[in-house]
Amino acid sequence: MNPVLNPKTVAKVGLLIAVPFLLNGCVGTVPPLPAADIPAGWEAPVNAQAPMWPKSDWWNNFSDPELSSLISNVQERNLDLANVKRNLDSAQISLREAGYNLLPTPLVTIGTGAVTSEVRNSPLLGDKSTGPNQPLTLNAGFTYSDILSKPANYNKAQADYAGRVAQAGNLALTTLGTAASTYFQLLLTRDKVVAAQQNLANAEAIGAIAKARVDAGVAVQIEALQQQITIENARNSLRSLQQNDLSARAALALLQGRSVQGYNVNTHSLLDIKVPTVQPGIPSELLRRRPDLVLAEATLKSSNANLTIVRNSLFPQISLTAAGSASSTSLSTLVSSPTSSLTITASLVETLLDNGQRFRNIDQAKITLENNLGSYRKSVLGAFNDIEVLLSNIQLLESQNNTAFNNLSAAEESFREAQARYSEGVTDYQTMLQSQNTLFTARNSWLDSKLLQLNASVGLFQALGGGWEAPAAQ
């Protein structure tokens, strides 16, 4: 006999299914940031001629083909980025599973069977009987458990997935920035190798003059000995720089997922690389352009959804189960006129006593939410402060680079004059030594200032999000 559902029962079941979607609008919202945390504009000087916000291929702004090729190789071959991509695929599967959990879980089976029996009355004779085939049975049903918490669970899964996406973006931005900075460090090392070779050549030239003066009896032996010490120090400095070249190449090779053996970089000078500029847009836009800020916000949203889940533990757990079956002795009658049954069960379970565990869980979830809000605010304030400092620092570094270049020109002229006067016996050795050391320092200071400029540009591109933007909410 097929049961007939009472209309009131159907209405109650429909209400149970609708409950989670009605409650979805009741999920708590994330506390907003205080208005004072987000500035209306930037106080630091901004280059109005520079492009607004970095593009996703920001490294091309340095106008260096080898850097662009290096970054492409890192994107394709970096082992950490490959792991993150696989983890992101896994997170997407988890999010899809969370979406399916919003729906009832169905179960459909079909089966049949046969009965065979054998009875032996004697060692020689036996009776065997085969019964009729068992009827075909089609079973279908669904379960829908913990209905009240499903919307909050899905919101938490969405926030967790958004955090994983932002985490992947942040790792990519950091990895590519590290690759660019390491490349610039390698080129600086090569420029310093050239400078060290020049310093060694100058020191050897002065050493030859000092030896000639000692041999001529117009100078004491100590001048030649002191200059020999300077020459040996210059040689050691050159060997140390050559070792630094190997270390930087090894770091670049690892970023590209390969061995340093046989790996090299063709560019040999930092001096021809352009120092690009970029300007930030409206400060509030930064909240969507920096992956670390999006990650902090996603963590906040996840903890907020978790608070809702914990609060729901105060309410009864509502579950719904439906099961139906149809059976027949043949497939044709299973379709046309089966023997069928239908069962619908709704349950409501409420915990009456748990020694206050649920309330303690709520308090813990509130504390976690407040802590994550504090961390989010700290990340936002730190991001704005970083950009203010970088913008101001870029202007300072440009001025320092110009000063370093002028100081190098003056040191070179001073050294040439001191060398000529020392060879003529007009200037003493200490004056010559001081001029020589000043030139060594000026060369390195100029090269260091160029590296600082380039790294500041990389830092600004990263601080502005490197062209990354949070995906639109699904």
Q: What is the pLDDT of residues 42-73, one digit of tens each?
A: 988 888 888 899 999 999 999 999 999 999 99
Instruction: Establish if 32 belongs to a structural domain.
Output: no
Instruction: Establish if 255 belongs to a structural domain.
Output: yes
Share above pLDDT 90 across residues of the chain, in percent, rounded to a whole number: 46
Residues ≥6 apart with Cβ < 8 Å to 97: none
Instruction: Establish if 223 belongs to a structural domain.
Output: yes
Q: Which residue has the higher pLDDT, 407 or 320?
A: 407
3-state secondary structure at position 120? coil
Instruction: Establish if 129 belongs to a structural domain.
Output: no
What is the rounded CA–CA span in Å between residue 247 and residue 313? 56
Contact 411, 434 (CB under 8 A): no
pLDDT for the residue 170: 95
3-state secondary structure at position 138? strand
Beta-ladder partners of 262? none
pLDDT digits (tens, 9 = 90+) for 311-350: 988 888 888 888 877 666 666 665 666 666 778 887 777 7
Neighbours of 273 (CB within 10 A): 21
pLDDT digits (tens, 9 = 90+) for 215-264: 888 778 888 888 899 899 989 999 999 999 999 999 999 999 999 999 99
Domain count, the chain: 1
What is the rounded CA–CA span in Å between residue 137 and residue 108? 11
Instruction: Establish if 263 belongs to a structural domain.
Output: yes
Instruction: Establish if 430 belongs to a structural domain.
Output: yes
Is residue 45 packed enough to be buried (19+ CB in 10 Å), middle (13-18) or exposed (0-12)? exposed
Instruction: Establish if 238 belongs to a structural domain.
Output: yes
What average pLDDT does the structure give for the chain?
Answer: 84
Pull the structure tokens for residue 255: 């970023």
**CATH code at position 88:** 1.20.1600.10
Residues ≥6 apart with Cβ < 8 Å to 346: 12, 13, 16, 318, 319, 320, 321
Determine the structural domain holding residue 197 and report its residue range. 40-112+148-316+358-463
Contact 408, 446 (CB under 8 A): yes
Instruction: Establish if 398 belongs to a structural domain.
Output: yes
